[in-house]
């Protein structure tokens, strides 16, 4: 039985690139709309608990590590490079990997672009019971959840034993 290669092929890279670029574009577009339409701190009620509120976040999740902006920027860039390296080696391992890592890369780049360009991340989705976040954060969370589900699914599938088809089967005596 032949084993299939696990490294990402052109189709896998195209999928990852399409998801990452779409996520990055959607994130940057929505942030630009918020910045141009709402003053810092201004809020607009949408529906139920959802408000659009213009917030600047110099840190990462929930404003943590806001005084470590350059370290956070460096670590984010390193994480994106690691994800791309992992994908190059294992992108064909599971069909959801291009989407999951595309969301992670696109979301990470969305926030990285903000940090490099303006020194903070623009957050705007406010549920009132949770700190404000943005589309990039949403893509990262969905990407991680998808990646975890894919890993659990891969572990549940029966493992195929490696066989050597050119070796004759051992003789047994009856």
pLDDT tens, the chain, 174 aa long: 556 667 777 788 899 899 999 999 999 999 999 999 999 999 999 999 999 999 998 866 655 555 566 677 778 788 888 888 887 777 666 778 889 999 999 999 999 899 889 988 999 999 999 999 999 999 999 999 998 888 787 777 665 544 445 555 566 665
Rounded CA-CA distance 116/120 in Å is 8
Helix (H) or strand (E) holding 68: none
Q: Report yes or no: 138 and 125 within 8 Å, Cβ to Cβ.
A: yes
pLDDT value, residue 158:
66
Catalytic residues: 123, 137
Q: Which residues contact 156 (CB under 8 A, 6 or more apart)?
A: none
C-beta neighbour count of 17 within 10 angstroms = 14
Three-state secondary-structure class, residue 113 = helix
Q: Report yes or no: 114 and 121 within 8 Å, Cβ to Cβ.
A: yes
**pTM of the prediction?**
0.78
């Amino acid at each position: 039985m032949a084993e299939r290669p696990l490294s990402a092929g052109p189709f896998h890279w195209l999928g990852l690139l399409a998801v990452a670029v779409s996520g990055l574009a959607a994130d940057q577009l929505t942030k630009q709309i918020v910045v141009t339409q709402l003053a810092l701190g201004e809020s607009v009620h949408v529906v139920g608990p959802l408000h659009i509120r213009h917030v600047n976040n110099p840190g990462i999740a929930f404003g943590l590590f806001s005084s470590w902006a350059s370290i956070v920027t460096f670590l984010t860039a390193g994480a994106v490079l690691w994800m791309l390296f992992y994908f190059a080696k294992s992108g064909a391992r599971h069909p959801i990997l291009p989407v999951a890592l595309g969301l992670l890369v696109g979301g990470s780049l969305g926030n990285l672009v903000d940090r490099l360009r303006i020194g903070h991340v623009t957050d705007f989705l406010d549920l009132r019971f949770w700190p404000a976040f943005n589309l990039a954060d949403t893509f990262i969370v969905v990407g991680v959840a998808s990646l975890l589900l894919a890993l659990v699914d891969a572990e549940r599938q029966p493992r195929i034993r490696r066989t050597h088809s050119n070796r004759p089967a051992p003789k047994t005596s009856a």
